[in-house]
Amino acid sequence: MDLKDIIRTIPDYPKPGIQFRDVTTLLGHPRAFRRAVDELVQPYAGQKIDKVAGIEARGFILGGAVAHQLSAGFIPLRKKGKLPHEVITESYELEYGVDAMEMHKDAVEPGERVLLVDDLIATGGTALAACKLLRKAEAEIVGAAFIICLPDLGGDTRLAEQGVSPSYLTWFGGH
């Protein structure tokens, strides 16, 4: 089974020229979902991982499953204003403006080893903001795991340049 074949591509979404890679088809396929989680976990099995941080929203689904497999805690990284307790915030630029991501202040202890998980790495803006947020809390980022990489957009390279080793299960050329 090739995971790439199970991921749906939606042309011209959310705007003309974009090929949206929709992992909901993979999440709905029991064998593919299980395989994806197993493969996301594999490079980190046997390592001490204290927490898995998942980026809203598909990163919650994947990150929760990965945390379970690694016997680690889970940290939700959310859009601004969605968490009910004291937070730390990291703003980041998007093509069309600025956004912000938040995490509870007490979600991670200094020195804890954290794996970042999301469905896709494209330009890397969101993943880099997540890494900055985790570093503000003095976490040690063990790596960043994704189902899909869009290497033409350079996010995987940007993460590596910031000292975060990215791993991914499949890639698509173009965007």
pLDDT at 97 over 90: no
- The residues, any chain, with a CB within 8 Å of residue 140's CB and separated by 6 or more, are 111, 112, 113, 114
CATH number 3.40.50.2020 given to 47-171: yes
Domain ranges of the chain: 47-171
pLDDT in tens, 32-73: 999 999 999 999 999 999 999 999 999 999 999 999 999 999
Task: Provide the pairing of β-strand 113-121 with 166-171.
Answer: unpaired
Give the predicted TM-score (pTM) of the model: 0.96
What is the predicted pLDDT for the residue at 148?
A: 98
Question: In this structure, what token pair is assigned to residue 56?
Answer: 């809203």
Task: Provide the pairing of β-strand 51-55 with 113-121.
Answer: parallel
Q: In what order do the strands lie in the sheet with 113-121?
A: 87-94, 97-104, 73-79, 51-55, 113-121, 140-149, 166-171
What is the predicted pLDDT for the residue at 98?
A: 87
Active site residues: 58, 95
Contact indicator for 69, 37 with CB cutoff of 8 Å: yes
